[in-house]
């Protein structure tokens, strides 16, 4: 499997399904029909792709726009960005400040702004479970596909992955210059489009 085939699977899964669980199942079933080596390829390509967005700037953009983003939340957000498709992902991986221009992000910000204006906004959430900008399910697609294709647990997948020189337990530092992503003035300086929203999150993104 090459990178073009990887992206075709990701993008077709979005066209064929709506909910995250259904998308996970679609990807698992399609990937399980391929050779075990291609399942390893998928895992390798997924990891390499989401790491392109593993930067301090992207982390700052997530926190600035949505106010959350610990280690796990940031990883699931990057997987969600992968789920948006190749063009959207590569655009924001190059320029995290462009997040505010993605239709999916603007939709979430619009709902978040409306929710913050409500007197009862401390109850519940601005988004449904399927709208949340995370796609943890995607991380487990190759494991589930491996088990379905081989009838074995995912240990064999991880052994093959390590044989290619990867260490799944290794967590590198984000790319780019390190900075305090909780310093909102610095966020606004480094990410001016995100900063405009951060200064007044009660406003809609187009207000």
pLDDT of residue 205: 46
Q: Would 180 be classed as within a structural domain? A: no
Q: What is the pLDDT of residue 115?
A: 81
For residue 74, is it left (φ>0), alpha (ψ between -120 and 50) or beta? alpha
Let me know if residue 33 belongs to a domain.
yes
Q: What is the mean pLDDT of each run of 10 residues along the chain (207 residues)?
A: 98 96 98 97 96 97 91 96 98 97 93 79 78 96 97 92 84 91 94 86 47
Q: Is 205 part of a structural domain of the chain?
A: no
Q: How many domains does the chain have?
A: 1
Residue 195 lies in a domain: yes
pTM across the whole model: 0.92
**Any domain includes 175:** no
Tell me, rounded to whole angstroms, the distance of Cα 75 from its chain centroid: 6
For residue 177, what pLDDT is reported? 96
Which alpha helices (H) appear in 33-181, and where do they start and end? 36-50, 56-66, 71-83, 86-94, 103-117, 136-139, 141-150, 155-163
Res 22: pLDDT: 98
The residue range of the domain holding 43 is: 3-170+186-199
pLDDT at residue number 200: 65
In a domain, 88, yes or no: yes
Instruction: Give the pLDDT of residue 122.
Output: 65
Whether 176 is in a domain gets the answer: no
């Amino acid at each position: 499997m090459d990178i073009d085939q990887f992206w075709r699977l990701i993008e077709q899964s979005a066209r064929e399904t709506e909910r995250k669980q259904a998308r996970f199942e679609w990807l698992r079933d399609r990937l399980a029909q391929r050779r075990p080596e291609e399942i390893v390829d998928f895992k390798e390509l997924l990891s390499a792709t989401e790491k392109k967005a593993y930067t301090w700037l992207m982390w700052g953009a997530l926190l600035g726009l949505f106010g959350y983003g610990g280690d796990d939340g940031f990883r699931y957000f990057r997987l969600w960005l992968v789920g948006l498709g190749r063009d959207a992902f590569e655009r924001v991986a190059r320029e995290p400040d462009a997040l505010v221009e993605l239709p999916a992000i603007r939709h979430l910000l619009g709902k978040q702004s409306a929710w913050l204006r409500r007197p009862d906004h401390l109850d519940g959430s601005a988004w449904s479970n399927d709208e949340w900008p995370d796609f943890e399910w995607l991380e487990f697609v190759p494991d589930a596909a491996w088990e379905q294709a081989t009838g074995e647990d995912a240990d064999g997948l991880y052994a093959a992955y390590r044989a290619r020189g990867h260490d799944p337990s290794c967590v590198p530092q984000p790319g780019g210059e390190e900075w305090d992503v909780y310093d909102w003035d610095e966020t606004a300086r480094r990410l001016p489009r995100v900063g405009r929203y951060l200064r007044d999150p009660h406003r809609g993104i187009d207000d």
